[in-house]
């Protein structure tokens, strides 16, 4: 920061003191003063960093990115306090430091699954029974309060192609208000073969899906019902977390634009290696298809504070489509791989992915599986009904790193999960999120998330 004017450094120091005193309004005003001088401030573990202000808007944190309505555009200025807007079903993540320094980052076994090593059972955990008494970390970030806006929208007769009506909207609200503990045992609550034990979870997602998305079989003739709007194909948005590697990002986005009609919502974490600038360049070139958001926070795996689960949930909040697609920037389409995933979804199938895996008998290994029904899909590429994802509070916000978080999400979502496998026209370049991450960090965070996976599986 040797080239930073002294008066800008002084503003940043005053802002740091304001944040320490929890004077967020004052800190917000000082950030604006710094930006007016042509500089951007980024918070770090050691204090702050100053860099020339980019040409695009940068929000301070993931949680401060505003959601003014599903898929809404941002207001003029950010909220330094970093509070999530009210009226959304995904609670703010407050657990970035969960389990930090507890000594539970023991060695883990590894197995091959989907082309990369996956963490097995943490050494010395004793399986699910041992994990059950370790507090509520597995349930952190799952909301129990009903989403009033979503219930109201469902009750509005013209809100969806097939409005579910006030009675069904009330049932959705009751289902969302009920406590939703995560399943403990080999059988997963909410699966289509276990609806009787947890009917409210399938009710909330089935009502919404049946109302507007029961079109997965596009060749099936549909007879319009008099007085109702004709059913339409589900809308689709691909969510991208941008955490570096601008060349990979460019290739991934260009393939999406070439081979699909899907929209893209992307969250840039810290403009690492100029990837945020590349994202903005792509968004400026095709604003109808690409929505770009930028935050000053850098990824947790790079030593920052932005976690995978929190970032994924923000993308889910910013999306207003029927189907939300999780995709990594190392994944590249060779054709339209999105439409087959969307067509695989139905009132009974909540998620459809490229690579599927099943656990071994001892619950400590995961093996490639599919095509067909699987227990989990990997985060390289999968589509999920957005209403189903919201019904469980979104992605596991306690996951600071992606690895095993895709397994955790698959095990908690209601309905069936399927994988399409090699029939999809898609390939993967170098999987940066795995191969280019510090191995010690990778295993520690993988272990941390896998403890929750074991509880969901009910390890013997």
Per residue in 185-224, pLDDT (tens digit) is 333 333 434 434 344 444 444 444 444 444 443 344 444 4
pLDDT of 276 > 80? The answer is yes
pLDDT tier, 69 (very low <50, low <70, confident <90, very high otherwise): low
253 in the same domain as 208: no
Q: What average pLDDT does range 122-130 have in this prediction?
A: 33
- Asked whether residue 299 falls in the same domain as residue 435, the answer is yes
- Pull the structure tokens for residue 77: 């200025």
Pair 260, 396 in one domain: yes
CA separation (Å) from 196 to 100, 347, 411?
Answer: 39, 16, 18
Name the more confident of 136 and 32.
Answer: 32
Question: In this predicted model, which residue has the larger pLDDT, 95 or 282?
Answer: 282
Question: Is the pTM value of this prediction over 0.75?
Answer: no
43: containing domain:
6-52
Shortest CA distance to 334 belongs to which of 424, 245, 269, 420? 424
**Residue appearing with tokens 């999987």:** 431
Instruction: With respect to residue 113, please indicate whether it lies within any of the assigned structural domains.
Output: no
Same domain flag for 310 and 432: yes
- pLDDT of 2 reads 54
Residues 179, 321, single domain; the answer is no
Q: Report the percentage of the chain scoring pLDDT > 90.
A: 48
Looking at the domain assignment, is residue 156 inside a domain? Answer: yes
Identify whether 137 is part of a domain. Answer: no
Q: What is the CATH number of the domain that holds 413?
A: 3.90.550.10
Per-residue pLDDT, averaged over 111-118, amounts to: 44
Whether residue 117 is contained in a domain is answered as no
Confidence check: pLDDT of 265 > 70: yes
User: First CA to last CA across the chain, in angstroms?
Assistant: 55
Domain identity same for 174 and 274:
no
Q: How much is the mean pLDDT over the chain?
A: 73
Per-residue confidence band for 441, with pLDDT thresholds at 50, 70 and 90? very high
- Per-residue pLDDT tens over the stretch 81-91: 332 333 334 44
337 or 44: whose pLDDT is higher? 337
Residue 313 sits in the same domain as residue 170: no
d(CA 329, CA 352): 18
Residue 131 pLDDT greater than 60, yes or no: no
pLDDT at 116: 52
Residue 322 is assigned to a structural domain of this protein? yes
Instruction: Say what the pLDDT of residue 66 is.
Output: 93
More confident residue, 287 or 115: 287
Helix (H) or strand (E) holding 15: helix 6-20
In this predicted structure, the answer to whether residue 113 has a pLDDT above a threshold of 90 is no
Task: Tell whether 274 and 416 lie within a shared domain.
Answer: yes
Q: What are the structure tokens assigned to 110, written together?
A: 């590894």
Q: Read off the pLDDT of residues 325-379 as tens digits, 9 standing for 90 and up.
A: 999 999 999 999 999 999 999 999 999 999 999 998 878 789 999 799 999 999 9
- Indicate if 347 and 429 belong to the same structural domain: yes
**pLDDT value of residue 363:** 80
Q: What pLDDT shows up at residue 41?
A: 84
User: 118 pLDDT band (50/70/90 cuts)?
Assistant: low
Average pLDDT over residues 310-320: 96
**Residue 311 in 3-state DSSP?**
helix
Same domain flag for 303 and 438: yes
How many domains are there within the chain?
3
**Is the pLDDT reported for residue 107 higher than 50?**
no
Say yes or no to pLDDT of 320 above 60.
yes
């Amino acid at each position: 920061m040797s080239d930073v004017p002294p008066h800008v450094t002084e503003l940043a120091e005053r802002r740091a003191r304001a944040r320490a005193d929890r004077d967020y309004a004052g800190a917000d005003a000082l950030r604006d003063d710094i930006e007016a001088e042509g500089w951007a401030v980024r918070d770090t573990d050691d204090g702050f960093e100053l860099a020339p202000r980019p040409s695009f808007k940068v929000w301070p944190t993931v949680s401060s990115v505003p959601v003014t309505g599903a898929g809404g555009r941002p207001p003029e200025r950010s909220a330094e306090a970093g509070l999530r807007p009210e009226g959304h079903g995904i609670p703010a993540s407050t657990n970035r430091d969960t389990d930090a320094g507890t000594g539970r980052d023991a060695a883990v076994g590894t197995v091959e699954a989907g082309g990369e090593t996956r963490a097995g059972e943490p050494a010395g955990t004793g399986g699910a029974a041992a994990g059950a008494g370790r507090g509520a970390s597995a349930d952190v970030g799952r909301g129990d309060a009903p989403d009033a806006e979503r219930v109201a929208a469902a009750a509005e007769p013209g809100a969806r192609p097939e409005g579910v009506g006030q009675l069904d909207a009330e049932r959705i609200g009751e289902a969302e208000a009920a406590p939703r503990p995560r399943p403990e045992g080999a059988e997963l609550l909410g699966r289509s073969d276990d609806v009787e034990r947890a009917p409210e979870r399938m009710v909330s997602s089935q009502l919404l899906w049946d109302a507007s998305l029961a079109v997965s079989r596009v060749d099936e003739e549909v007879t319009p019902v008099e007085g109702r709007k004709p059913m339409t194909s589900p809308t689709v948005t691909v969510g991208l977390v941008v955490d570096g590697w601008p060349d990979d990002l460019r290739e991934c986005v260009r393939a999406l634009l070439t081979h699909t009609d899907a929209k893209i919502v992307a969250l840039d974490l810290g403009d690492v290696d100029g990837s945020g600038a590349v994202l903005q360049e792509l968004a400026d070139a095709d604003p109808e298809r690409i929505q770009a958001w930028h935050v000053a926070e850098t990824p947790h795996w790079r030593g920052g504070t932005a976690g995978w689960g929190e970032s994924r949930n923000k993308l889910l909040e910013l999306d207003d489509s029927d189907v939300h697609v999780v995709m990594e920037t190392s994944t590249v389409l060779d054709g339209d791989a999105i439409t087959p995933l969307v067509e695989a979804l139905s009132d009974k199938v909540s998620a459809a992915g490229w690579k599927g895996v099943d656990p071994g008998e001892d619950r400590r290994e995961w093996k490639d599986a599919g095509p067909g029904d699987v227990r989990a899909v990997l985060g390289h590429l999968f589509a999920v009904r957005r209403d189903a994802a919201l019904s469980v509070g979104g992605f596991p916000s306690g996951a600071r790193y992606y690895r095993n978080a895709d397994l955790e999400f698959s095990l908690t979502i209601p309905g069936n999960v399927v994988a399409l496998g090699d029939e999809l026209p898609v390939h993967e370049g170098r999987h940066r999120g795995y191969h280019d991450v510090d191995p010690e960090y990778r295993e520690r965070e993988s272990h941390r998330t896998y403890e929750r996976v074991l509880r969901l599986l009910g390890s013997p």
